[in-house]
Amino acid sequence: MCGILAVLGCIDCSQAKRSRIIELSGRLRHRGPDWSGLHCYEDCYLAHQRLAIVDPASGDQPLYNEDKTVVVTINGEIYNHKYLRDKLKSHTFRTGSDCEVIAHMYEEYGEDFVDMLDGMFSFVLLDTRDKSFIAARDAIGITPLYIGWGLDGSIWFASEMKALSDDCERFMSFLPGHIYSSKQGGMRRWYNPPWYAEQVPSGPYDPLALRAAFEKAVIKRLMTDVPFGVLLSGGLDSSLVASVASRHLAESEAACQWGSQLHTFCIGLKGSPDLKAAREVADYLRTRHHEFHFTVQEGIDALEEVIYHIETYDVTTIRASTPMFLMSRKIKSLGVKMVISGEGSDEIFGGYLYFHKAPNKEEFHHETCRKIKSLHLYDCLRANKSTSAWGLEARVPFLDKEFLNLAMSIDPEWKMVRPDLGRIEKWILRNAFDDNERPYLPKHILYRQKEQFSDGVGYSWIDGLRDLANKEVTDSMLMNASFIYPENTPTTKEAYYYRRIFEKYFPKNSARSTVPGGPSIACSTAKAVEWDAAWSKNLDPSGRAALGVHVAAYDEASAANKKPGLVNGPSHKVLEVPKEVAST
Amino acid sequence: MCGILAVLGCSDDSQAKRVRVLELSRRLKHRGPDWSGIYQHGDFYLAHQRLAIIDPASGDQPLYNEDDTIVVTVNGEIYNHEELRKLLPNHEFKTGSDCDVIAHLYEEYGENFVDMLDGMFSFVLLDTRDDSFLVARDAIGITSLYIGWGLDGSIWISSELKGLNDDCEHFECFPPGHLYSSKLGGLKRWYNPPWFSEAIPNIPYDPLALRRTFENAVIKRLMTDVPFGVLLSGGLDSSLVASVTARHLARTKAAKQWGTQLHSFCVGLEGSPDLKAAKEVADYLGTVHHEFHFTVQDGIDAIEDVIYHIETYDVTTIRASTPMFLMSRKIKSLGVKMVLSGEGSDEVFGGYLYFHKAPNKEEFHRETCRKIKALHQYDCLRANKATSAWGLEARVPFLDKEFISVAMAIDPQWKMIKPGEGRIEKWVLRKAFEDEDRPYLPKHILYRQKEQFSDGVGYSWIDGLKEHAEQHVNDKMMQNAGHIFPHNTPNTKEAYYYRMIFERFFPQNSARLTVPGGASVACSTAKAIEWDAAWSNNLDPSGRAALGVHLSAYDARVTSVGSKLGATPGEMPARVVGVTATAPGLAIKS
């Protein structure tokens, strides 16, 4: 990833302003430790902090068209850049950077080229000929982007909130799949796939087509000039990513430079379920596996930094981000600059446990659509910012545009969880990779049931967080919470603790409004809470809530029910079922 | 390098204090991007940000003795750690880290072990059995270290100023070669080499002994488990480092992991003398050479960052630090974590141009001693912090303890510059590496004359800085400078500009006192100004001052006094200098 910051039309071209922008851009340096650049045209500034993944030698930014009248600062990867270059035969390119096509595409097609890009990206493009500009963000919001407005009439764009929160009067998340055009004076959505309208599709389930689309999505993402690896928690999603990546690595360009053995990475408290599950998969795939151990204390010591980097006070996100944040530092210290990760699968296939209770296929489908649309506030935010905190880039093949289109066109009947038919959650994905001749994964891994949330890194992690919050937040603090924090009021001591840290770093109203809230059970949207009358009385957005839907829970329902609020707890330990840090 | 921060006896063991110490420690994260650790024992905190060079897998800090009663946080490299481990046969080591020996040496020898360490280091050791602690810094101050005092009675130790300046009532540079012992309640110097008293030595010059000692100093520094390289400006010092490294690399452990071909790095404005000179040396040595180009605008845009990182307002240091700072970022982005660099040679051998005017060998020698003692505030500060800003470690073989001892024991008569006898500056070093059979460097490089200061990266760099300052500092500001900055008053607009930035980041009175000042001509100490009556009228600490001592000046050629790019001693070929047009503002007299 890189970090971008653009300030447009601030009526100030002084040295002081330039220094200020350099300073603010410096707040994004963790995202792009390799080099920085600043282009200033009158009172428009485009700043960039670069993480060099493709063409490290010459791809420094900002990027330009031939006569330097069009300037682009971008954070992202354009996987189809070679194809796009071929379409721009009359253009001369200055660098080998995948992002350079953007300035040229704009010259050729005007503002309507964004949907031609295949990849993840956030960019600001300045056309100095008429001082117009556009800003755009990828379809799902894999890369973060914020937009802000200054009292001086300026418009600001930044990869992270911290670069503009102090200087803008108001700011917000830049919506994924949207484009801001100064000519049109506003935002519009450029991403219009069939699923977006939430109509219930009726496409057939073709396992081999789904498999092929996913394989293609992974292969695209092997485009790199630097060492890379895969985040492997041992759950279904990350194991599939690792399996497909290792299968196709040998044919990729990356293998010529970095060897054909895949590196995999896993983190957990010592002896945690994830570590065990990942080790098993790594052994099966013969990857070069790296295990990182952290202690509850190390996680707690990192919390402030995590919140500063992730820019949220959402409890589930913070719990899951912390191990990922710690692991990213270790991965980067090995010289690895890019990892492929399994985010998005649970949203597309309805992998969360509460989907067991979806009343019908229509509800099921709508909920998956809603989940995908809010990914940029949750798992995309976490995956991108936890890794970028250390100059590591995360790529997410499940959120490939083409794969998404295919997966979301399947009749949701197929996705429904049907214990009677032996279909557990994400069955269509599992079945697509069930290959007896050349197995992607051993059957018991392919069909093992997903555990939710951050327990995979070790059971005591969340308990440790709660203990800390109980010690540091008093009852009277929590009692006054709704007066202190009228918006998204924290309902637990843990939430209060995180919120306090967030407010310290981001004290503005605009900042707290960028974080989602509302009722939720075990990661559901507010709407899905209606699926079970019991849920609305037992709201716990963080996910350990009693759902009564886990296989283990089916088996041991009576035992589990004796511990309200922690129903799945004991059975976890008995079964030692792995779960995915990366996707919870 | 790593970053260390210790807060000792602050009478506060709350979660809030822990969070504050963690936050302050993160200000040193650039020094140690790989991992961090904190140890808390009551109201004692030892925090660490690690750059993993030796034993990346298990060497996370703090480090402990067997029963975890002694805790150490270290920034540094102990080159003789394997020999020291052998001295401790009954100790069990928990990691493969070179710094692991410190806790065990303390157990074995008490507070008197510091002189046994061969390397560069700053550490804090806490003995939890009696809550006593020990702090020490290497002989010359290659690693940076500060000490501070809180109003709550706490003592603070930090690798950089920014780790403690906001929380201490008073703070200072931790003097190099010293240790602070809580039992003694104060500082004492542990480094006591013969040269320190500044008595004039009389050992005859033995070229082969000097060569051998330097080769040893380089070889020691090839101890690494990660990719490394050499900063190569093409001048004598960095070229010798590169040549010796290239020669011995094949036999090291590092070569088995990272290949036998040496990587070398050079920075400059496009077409600059350093780039040309370094390329020539790299071609001769067959290194994998990397050139980085920057623009004057790139440099100016980096100035605030540089001052924040280097923590000085010294003009020469900032000028030389900036290209090194930019280059370090590029080097790190290639995956290289450690570089060897040529600092110290000019101080040890009197390589600065003003040494031409040394009236006698006694004065010459004393000035070299003074220069070495001040290194920690100038070139060591620059080399360490400009690289550490990007998690890159710089090692400096010319400041090897043994090498300094040998070089400073030579009768200074040999170091004196005698144009009549064909002895230019640093002749003893050049001569030592003149080998007809297996030449270290081609003769014209070995004997090309050193240019001073930051011109090597490109003549327009300093001009660009001056112009920039001219635009942003007006005459009125300069008139009031003495009132605004009564201590170390800036006397140029450039100095004023840097000072403004420094004061913004480090507004405390203690902070400005950590930066040296005083009269200087072309990097001399105040004392050496007495060598030439004309100098005191024409003070210019930044070094373009007219000295009238350059070889090309002897040749009556119009020339620019060149430069020394900080870490990469920017010598450039006299040839190149000779043909280059005079840089504006020069006052060279032929």
What pLDDT tens digit does each residue of chain A (584 aa) get? 799 999 999 999 999 999 999 999 999 999 999 999 999 999 999 999 999 888 777 778 889 999 999 999 999 999 999 999 999 999 999 888 889 999 999 999 999 999 999 999 999 999 999 999 999 999 999 999 999 999 999 999 999 999 999 999 999 999 999 999 999 999 999 999 999 999 999 999 999 999 999 999 999 999 888 889 999 999 999 999 999 999 998 887 777 777 778 999 999 999 999 999 999 999 999 999 999 999 999 999 999 999 999 999 999 999 999 999 999 999 999 989 999 999 999 999 999 888 989 999 999 999 999 999 999 999 999 999 999 999 999 999 999 999 999 999 999 999 999 989 989 999 999 999 999 999 999 999 999 876 655 678 888 999 999 999 999 999 999 999 999 999 999 999 999 999 999 999 999 999 999 999 888 877 888 888 889 888 877 766 655 554 555 544 444 433 333 333 333 333 333 333 333 333 33
**Chain centroid to CA B238:** 14
Any B CB within 8 A of A57 CB: no
In this prediction, residue B535 carries a pLDDT of 81
CATH topology of domain B197-571: Rossmann fold (3.40.50)
Query: Closest residue of A to B21, CA-based?
Result: A301
Spatial strand order in the sheet of A186-189: A63-64, A70-78, A119-127, A132-137, A178-181, A186-189
In terms of DSSP H, where are the helices of B296-446?
Answer: 296-310, 315-333, 345-349, 361-374, 379-388, 401-407, 427-432, 443-446
Any A CB within 8 A of B472 CB: yes
Say if CB A38 and CB A46 are below 8 A apart. Answer: yes
Secondary-structure percent of chain A, ordered helix, strand, coil, rounded to 5: 45, 15, 40
Three-state secondary structure call for residue A180: strand
In this prediction, residue B532 carries a pLDDT of 85
Question: Going along B329-401, which residue ranges are E strands?
Answer: 338-340, 393-395
The alpha-carbon gap from A360 to the nearest alpha carbon of chain B, in Å, equals 49
Residue count of chain A: 584
Say if CB A39 and CB B316 are below 8 A apart. Answer: no
Interface-testing mutation among A333, A472, A500, with chain B (most B C-beta atoms within 10 A): A333
Three-state secondary structure call for residue A8: strand
The alpha-carbon gap from A329 to the nearest alpha carbon of chain B, in Å, equals 6
In this prediction, residue B451 carries a pLDDT of 61
Three-state secondary structure call for residue A391: coil
In this structure, what token pair is assigned to residue B338?
């450690």
Q: What does the alpha-carbon distance between residue A582 and residue B359 come to, in Å, rounded to a whole number?
A: 71
Query: Which residue from A530, A180, A501, A465 is spatially nearest to A322, judged by alpha carbons?
Result: A465
Q: What does the alpha-carbon distance between residue B124 and residue B8 come to, in Å, rounded to a whole number?
A: 10
Query: Closest residue of A to B58, CA-based?
Result: A292
| The one-letter amino acid at B78 | I
C-alpha dist (Å) from residue A85 to A69, A100, A113, A402, B24: 19, 9, 13, 20, 47
Phi, psi (degrees; rounded to nearest 5) at A345: -60, -45
Chain B positions touching A332 (Cβ under 8 A) are 33-34
Per-residue b or e along B521-558, where b marks 16 or more CB atoms closer than 10 Å to that residue's CB: bbbbbbebbebbeebeeebbbbbbbbbbbbbbbeeeee
Query: Which residue from A458, A488, A445 is spatially nearest to A573, judged by alpha carbons?
Result: A458
Question: ipTM score here?
Answer: 0.87
Residue in the structure block whose two tokens are 């092997």: A222
**Could you say which of B227, B305, B333 has the minimum Cβ distance to residue A35?**
B333
Q: What residues contact residue A201 under an 8 Å CB cut-off, 6+ apart?
A: A194, A195, A365, A408, A409, A410, A411, A412
How would you class B333 by CB atoms within 10 Å of its CB: exposed for 0-12, middle for 13-18, buried for 19 or more? buried
The alpha-carbon gap from A191 to the nearest alpha carbon of chain B, in Å, equals 35
Count chain A–chain B contacts defined by CB atoms under 8 A.
52
Say if CB B332 and CB A33 are below 8 A apart. Answer: yes
Inter-chain residue contact A33 with B38, CB threshold 8 Å: no
Residue in the structure block whose two tokens are 């936050």: B23
Chain A positions touching B472 (Cβ under 8 A) are 15
Angle, alpha carbons B545-B410-B526 (nearest 5°): 30
Angle, alpha carbons B254-B257-B261 (nearest 5°): 70
Q: What does the alpha-carbon distance between residue A188 and residue B386 come to, in Å, rounded to a whole number?
A: 45
Inter-chain residue contact A471 with B23, CB threshold 8 Å: no
Say if CB B224 and CB B252 are below 8 A apart. Answer: no
Domains of chain A: residue spans and CATH: 3-192 (3.60.20.10), 206-452+459-561 (3.40.50.620)
Beta bridge partners of B125: B72, B134
Chain A positions touching B47 (Cβ under 8 A) are none
| The one-letter amino acid at B393 | E
Beta bridge partners of B7: B45, B156
Q: What does the alpha-carbon distance between residue B396 and residue B214 come to, in Å, rounded to a whole number?
A: 11
In this structure, what token pair is assigned to residue B76?
């540094």
Residue in the structure block whose two tokens are 């100098």: B535
The alpha-carbon gap from B61 to the nearest alpha carbon of chain A, in Å, equals 13
Inter-chain residue contact B472 with A15, CB threshold 8 Å: yes
Q: What residues contact residue B542 under an 8 Å CB cut-off, 6+ apart?
A: B315, B316, B319, B453, B462, B492, B494
The alpha-carbon gap from A332 to the nearest alpha carbon of chain B, in Å, equals 7
Say if CB A446 and CB A433 are below 8 A apart. Answer: yes
Say if CB B113 and CB B101 are below 8 A apart. Answer: no
Any B CB within 8 A of A60 CB: no
Catalytic hit among A2, A44, A99, A369 = A2
C-alpha dist (Å) from residue A254 to A56, A220, A221, B555: 14, 11, 10, 56
Q: What pTM value is reported for the model? A: 0.90
Query: Closest residue of A to B291, CA-based?
Result: A57
The alpha-carbon gap from B181 to the nearest alpha carbon of chain A, in Å, equals 29
| The one-letter amino acid at B134 | L
Domain ranges of chain B: 3-192, 197-571
Say if CB B65 and CB B107 are below 8 A apart. Answer: yes
HSE-CB at A327 with a 13 A cutoff on CA atoms is 33
Chain B positions touching A35 (Cβ under 8 A) are 329-330, 333
Task: Output DSSP code: residue B397.
Answer: G
In this structure, what token pair is assigned to residue A510?
């605009």
Residue in the structure block whose two tokens are 């990691």: B95
Inter-chain residue contact B56 with A52, CB threshold 8 Å: no
Any B CB within 8 A of A304 CB: yes
Please confirm, yes or no, whether B2 is among the known catalytic residues. yes
Task: Output DSSP code: residue A353.
Answer: G
The alpha-carbon gap from A235 to the nearest alpha carbon of chain B, in Å, equals 26
Q: How many CB atoms neighbour CB A359 within 10 A?
A: 11
Q: How many CB atoms neighbour CB A256 within 10 A?
A: 9
Inter-chain residue contact B34 with A38, CB threshold 8 Å: no
**Could you say which of A22, A33, A329 has the minimum Cβ distance to residue B304?**
A22
Chain B positions touching A19 (Cβ under 8 A) are 304
Any B CB within 8 A of A301 CB: yes
Query: Which residue from A561, A226, A79, A74 is spatially nearest to B333, judged by alpha carbons?
Result: A226
Q: What residues contact residue A562 under an 8 Å CB cut-off, 6+ apart?
A: none
Per-residue b or e along B71-88, where b marks 16 or more CB atoms closer than 10 Å to that residue's CB: bbbbbbbbbbbeebbeee
Any B CB within 8 A of A196 CB: no
In this structure, what token pair is assigned to residue A157?
């764009």
Inter-chain residue contact A38 with B26, CB threshold 8 Å: no
| The one-letter amino acid at A231 | L
Q: What does the alpha-carbon distance between residue B297 and residue A55 come to, in Å, rounded to a whole number?
A: 23
Max CA distance (Å), chain A: 73
Any A CB within 8 A of B260 CB: no
Q: Which residues of chain B carry a pLDDT beneath 50?
A: 546, 551-590
Spatial strand order in the sheet of B263-268: B288-293, B263-268, B228-231, B338-340, B393-395
Q: What does the alpha-carbon distance between residue B204 and residue B464 come to, in Å, rounded to a whole number?
A: 46
Task: Output DSSP code: residue A163.
Answer: G
| The one-letter amino acid at B329 | R
Three-state secondary structure call for residue A530: helix
Task: Output DSSP code: residue A579.
Answer: B
Inter-chain residue contact A329 with B23, CB threshold 8 Å: no
| CATH class label, B3-192 | alpha beta
In this prediction, residue B252 carries a pLDDT of 82
**Could you say which of B19, B52, B227 has the minimum Cβ distance to residue A304?**
B19
Residue in the structure block whose two tokens are 């202190």: A484
Any B CB within 8 A of A38 CB: yes
Inter-chain residue contact B301 with A52, CB threshold 8 Å: no
Query: Which residue from B345, B405, B297 is spatially nearest to B570, judged by alpha carbons?
Result: B345
Inter-chain residue contact A305 with B26, CB threshold 8 Å: yes
Residue in the structure block whose two tokens are 């279904």: A236
Q: What residues contact residue A474 under an 8 Å CB cut-off, 6+ apart?
A: none
In this prediction, residue B559 carries a pLDDT of 34
The alpha-carbon gap from B34 to the nearest alpha carbon of chain A, in Å, equals 5
Q: What does the alpha-carbon distance between residue B25 and residue A215 come to, in Å, rounded to a whole number?
A: 44
Any B CB within 8 A of A13 CB: no
**Could you say which of B15, B304, B333 has the minimum Cβ distance to residue A56?**
B333
Say if CB A74 and CB A102 are below 8 A apart. Answer: yes
Residue in the structure block whose two tokens are 């990206």: A121
The H or E element that residue A45 is part of is strand A44-50
Residue in the structure block whose two tokens are 């007299």: B589
Query: Which residue from A231, A218, A314, A223 is spatially nearest to A265, judged by alpha carbons?
Result: A231
The alpha-carbon gap from A333 to the nearest alpha carbon of chain B, in Å, equals 5
Q: Which of residues 365-394 of A touch B (CB under 8 A)?
A: 390
Query: Closest residue of A to B303, CA-based?
Result: A19
Beta bridge partners of A45: A7, A40
Q: What does the alpha-carbon distance between residue A546 and residue A187 come to, in Å, rounded to a whole number?
A: 41
**Could you say which of B23, B38, B329 has the minimum Cβ distance to residue A35?**
B329
Any A CB within 8 A of B301 CB: yes
Inter-chain residue contact B333 with A52, CB threshold 8 Å: yes
Interface-testing mutation among A301, A334, A388, A390, with chain B (most B C-beta atoms within 10 A): A301
In this structure, what token pair is assigned to residue B453?
């200061």
